[in-house]
Structure 1
Amino acid sequence: MIEFFADEDVVRPALRERLVKTWIKEVAASYKRKVDQLYYQFCSDEHILRVNQEFLQHDYYTDIITFDNSEGQRIAGDLLISLDTVRSNAEEASVPFDEELHRVIIHGVLHLCGLNDKAPGEPEQMRAAEDKALELLRSHLKPGEPFLL
């Protein structure tokens, strides 16, 4: 089961939910994993900062926090995404918001599948995996069709 929620103070992105859920499952399957329960919560910078401080003892903003509840080959977790940070990262990278949002959505899944991005060489491997996953998503869309509704 994959569910999407939004805090009261943010506008929930207009995801193509059926497509995104299928895509997440396909990416997980490419790592020999099955999706169990994934709960995405879209929030503000202030909310994610509080969670980062309280649960991870990190005093900074981030685009995503992934709480891993996976067991064996079944991935499960709670994924908290700051739409504020996704928006600012998209602007900084000169990419569309919808592309950056989907990159972050799949970034959490890739962590649950065992990829990391902290040690030398890992960030490049993560970015390559994200790019490959985004290409898979694009393959489900008509040319030029946006990720969001």
Structure 2
Amino acid sequence: MINFNYETDFKLDNEDAIAGWLGNVITSENKKEGEINYIFCDDEYLHKINVEYLDHDTLTDIISFDYSMGNELHGDIFVSVERVKDNAADFNVSFQEELKRVLVHGIMHYCGYKDKGEVEELLMRSKEDEKIAMFHVEQ
């Protein structure tokens, strides 16, 4: 089950469509959907988590905590709506497009994809693009 929680004024317009898409993404990676919680927040909220749990004193758009068991995906994914807006402007894409990228990015981590090195990052971007394209087909 995919849940959406809000620690900011932001709210998704299409929770059911997003949850359905993310469920299809999980299935397309031969994984099972467990309980995944998205928590939408602001920079300050996510920065505190980054410092407290990861010892990183930086702003970020997403932090995911993976509690998966075998092929069943579980976890908490924190998303800074402020970072997503800024990144969308920086990358010259719509807010909705950047939001989809961030949402699927967390799932891709749970599926075992990394983004620390250049090769890993290229594969991650490729997988994100592939999964974002799945959303457009379903609408």
CA drift at 1:16 = 1.4
Provide the secondary structure at the position in 2 that maps to 1:61: coil
Corresponding residue to 1:43 among 38, 41, 49? 41
Q: What percentage of aligned pairs have identical amino acids?
A: 37
Distance (Å, rounded) in 1 between the aligned partners of 2:25 and 2:45: 28
Q: Which residue of 2 aligns with 1:126?
A: 124
Runs of 4+ that moved beyond 4 A: none
1:3 aligns with 2:8: no
Q: Distance in 1 between the 2:30 and 2:13 partners?
A: 25
Instruction: Measure, in 2, the Cα distance between the counterparts of 1:5 and 1:38.
Output: 11
Q: 1:104 aligns with which of 99, 102, 105?
A: 102
Secondary structure (helix, strand or coil) at the match of 1:23 reads helix
TM-score (norm. length: structure 1):
0.90
SS of 1:121's partner is helix
Match of 1:90 in 2: 88
C-alpha contact 2:4 2:39 (8 A) present in aligned 1: yes
Shift of 1:139: 0.7
Please identify which structure carries the higher helix content: 2
Gaps of 5+ in 2: none
- Cα shift at 1:17: 1.4
> TM-score, normalising length from structure 2?
0.97
Q: Which letter maps to 1:3?
A: N
The answer to whether the 8 A contact 2:22-2:104 is kept is yes
Q: Whole-Å Cα distance in 2 between the matches of residues 121 and 38 of structure 1? A: 27
Which amino acid letter does the alignment assign opposite residue 41 of structure 1? Answer: I
Matched residue, 2:29 = 31
* Conserved? CA contact 2:10–2:81, under 8 Å: no
Give the aligned partner of residue 147 of structure 1: none
| Range that drifts further, 94-103 or 15-24 | 15-24
Aligned pair count?
139
CA drift at 1:47: 0.7
